[in-house]
Amino acid sequence: MSEQRVNLSEAKVLVVDDQPDNLELLCRSLEAAGCNVQVASSGQVALQIAMRATPDLILLDVMMPIMDGYETCRKLKEGEATKDIPVIFLTAHHDVQGIADGFRAGGWRASWPTRARR
């Protein structure tokens, strides 16, 4: 099987997380891959940025105060300008209910490692 390469130099990625350390880590990794990265520390701010900037992808934390990632995703999927933006949930939780909730809200799920793997 041949490896496919994706050019990320034009990709606009919105990273949404209320934890500054997570934002910094994700931003550094994505920028090193050539992505244009915008950040939001809440669901409300993410909605505003997504409406204005129309990112190619949204990486969205599940557990945030006031508006969690599920609600944020549902609101994105209701908006005409944002409904087709792919959303990947980032979470340290691995429970079946949380995964199902994420799919019902309209997103995908990626596990956020809770410890380094060896």
Residue-level pLDDT at 67: 95
Residue-level pLDDT at 93: 62
Q: For residue 65, with 0-12 CB atoms within 10 Å meaning exposed, 13-18 middle and 19 or more buried, which class applies?
A: exposed
40, 66 in Cβ contact below 8 A? no
User: What pTM, to 2 d.p., does this model score?
Assistant: 0.79
Question: Which residues in the chain come in under a pLDDT of 50?
Answer: 109, 111-118
Residue-level pLDDT at 47: 97
**What are 30-58's pLDDT values in tens digits?**
999 899 999 999 999 999 999 999 999 99
State the DSSP string of 57-79. Answer: EEEEES--SSS-HHHHHHHHHHS
Residue-level pLDDT at 10: 78
**CA–CA–CA angle 111, 116, 118 (5° rounding):** 110
Domains of the chain: 12-111 (3.40.50.2300)
